[in-house]
């Protein structure tokens, strides 16, 4: 019987984004404040996911052994380090969040049956790596506040209340929405980046956060004049809004997760959008 187990670890380290082949001005233009010497630091949180069959003791692996492997191969070497100098891999490819996850995979793979490495640089930025050469995932978390009402215009208040409950009340209600946007792509072999992080954040801010924040979605966002702004529909709309802007920064949108409240969330994947677009563009053959 296959089972996935996860082990959490953490380390504190500093790093700097700087390419010696570029001038100071070129580095500053590409990496912004991250070029400042001697660097800046983070409290990294690492999740190591492993898969295997249960043994006679009901375990995939002894977690005490897993802890020691992670400590020996990763955290004892990286904790309180300057990452650029800690491992030779980071002298060739900068220690971005996604590249650190990749190199940690390489260090642990000979010892553990890995299926995923997840590395949090801070609670609003994390990367995932699954062993696919230079391909990785990068997620940013943000938020916006908005009100909405769940009601179909052709139904009465009583009918809408039967479907949507309190959410159908005339004046609506509000949420502090938390949004997670995940992109995927190939890391640059020199910068270690899937895409420019500033450009990624700007795309999400420009197309979602700024237009949606402090609005009444049904009235202020034209799309929701005809579409009921459930969490599911909001997430789908955000996904569709971000497809092209993410392509323009050189990455591919992977997933949108919308957390409406601590009790309710939904997530949609970009592959559904791509498949739908492909079907729409497929030529229709005439029947004979």
109 & 137 share domain: no
pLDDT tens readout for residues 182-216: 999 999 999 999 999 999 999 999 999 999 999 99
Residue 26 bears catalytic tag: no
Q: Indicate the pLDDT class of residue 285, thresholds 50, 70 and 90.
A: very low
> DSSP E strands: which ranges in 149-199?
173-186
pLDDT of residue 1: 77
The H or E element containing residue 137 is strand 135-148
Give residue 115's domain range.
1-131
pLDDT of residue 286: 44
Number of structural domains (the chain) is: 2
Tell me the CATH number at 181. 3.30.479.10
Query: Quick one: angle between helices 231-248 and 197-204, nearest 10?
Result: 140
Catalytic residue among 3, 173, 214, 248: 214
> What is the rounded CA–CA span in Å between residue 232 and residue 177?
12
Cα-Cα-Cα-Cα torsion 80, 111, 89, 102, nearest 10 degrees, comes to -90
61 pLDDT exceeds 50? yes
pLDDT of residue 283: 54
Q: Indicate the pLDDT class of residue 124, thresholds 50, 70 and 90.
A: very high
274 pLDDT exceeds 80? no
Residue 3 bears catalytic tag: no
Catalytic residue among 124, 167, 178, 232: 167
114 & 146 share domain: no
Alpha helix positions (H), the chain: 24-31, 63-70, 76-78, 83-86, 89-92, 97-108, 157-164, 197-204, 210-212, 217-220, 231-248, 270-281
78 & 38 share domain: yes
205 & 254 share domain: yes
More confident residue, 2 or 161: 161
pLDDT tens readout for residues 222-241: 999 999 999 999 999 999 99
Nearest-5° Cα angle at 55, 50 to 61: 35
125 & 168 share domain: no
> What is the rounded CA–CA span in Å between residue 104 and residue 230?
39
Across the chain, what does the average pLDDT equal? 94
pLDDT tens readout for residues 73-112: 999 999 999 999 999 999 999 999 999 999 999 999 999 9
262 & 144 share domain: yes
203 & 270 share domain: yes
148 & 272 share domain: yes
Do strands 173-186 and 125-129 pair parallel, antiparallel, or not at all (unpaired)? unpaired
Residue 122 bears catalytic tag: no
């Amino acid at each position: 019987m296959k089972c996935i187990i996860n082990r959490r670890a953490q380390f504190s380290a500093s790093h700097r984004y700087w390419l010696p082949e570029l001038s100071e001005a070129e580095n500053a233009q590409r990496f912004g404040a991250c070029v400042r010497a001697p660097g800046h630091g983070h409290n990294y949180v690492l999740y190591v996911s492993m898969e295997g069959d249960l043994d006679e003791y009901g375990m995939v692996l002894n977690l005490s052994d897993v802890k020691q492997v992670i400590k020996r191969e990763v955290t004892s070497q990286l904790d309180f380090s300057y990452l650029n100098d800690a491992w030779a891999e980071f002298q060739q490819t900068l220690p971005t969040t996604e590249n650190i996850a990749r190199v940690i995979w390489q260090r642990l793979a000979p010892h553990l049956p890995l299926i995923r490495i997840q590395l949090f640089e801070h609670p609003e930025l994390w990367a995932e790596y699954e062993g696919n050469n230079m391909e990785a995932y990068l997620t940013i978390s943000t938020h916006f506040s908005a009100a909405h009402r769940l009601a179909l215009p052709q139904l009465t208040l009583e009918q809408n209340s039967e479907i949507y409950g309190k959410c159908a009340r005339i004046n609506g209600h509000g949420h502090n929405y938390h949004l997670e946007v995940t992109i995927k792509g190939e890391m640059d072999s020199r910068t270690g980046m899937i895409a420019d992080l500033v450009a990624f954040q700007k795309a999400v801010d420009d197309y979602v956060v700024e237009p949606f924040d402090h609005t009444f979605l049904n009235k202020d966002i034209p799309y929701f004049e005809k579409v009921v702004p459930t969490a599911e529909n909001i997430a789908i709309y955000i996904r569709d809004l971000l497809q092209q802007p993410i392509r323009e920064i050189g990455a591919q949108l992977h997933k949108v997760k919308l957390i409406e409240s601590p009790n309710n969330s939904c997530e949609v994947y970009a592959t559904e959008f791509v498949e739908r677009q492909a079907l729409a563009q497929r030529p229709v053959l005439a029947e004979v």
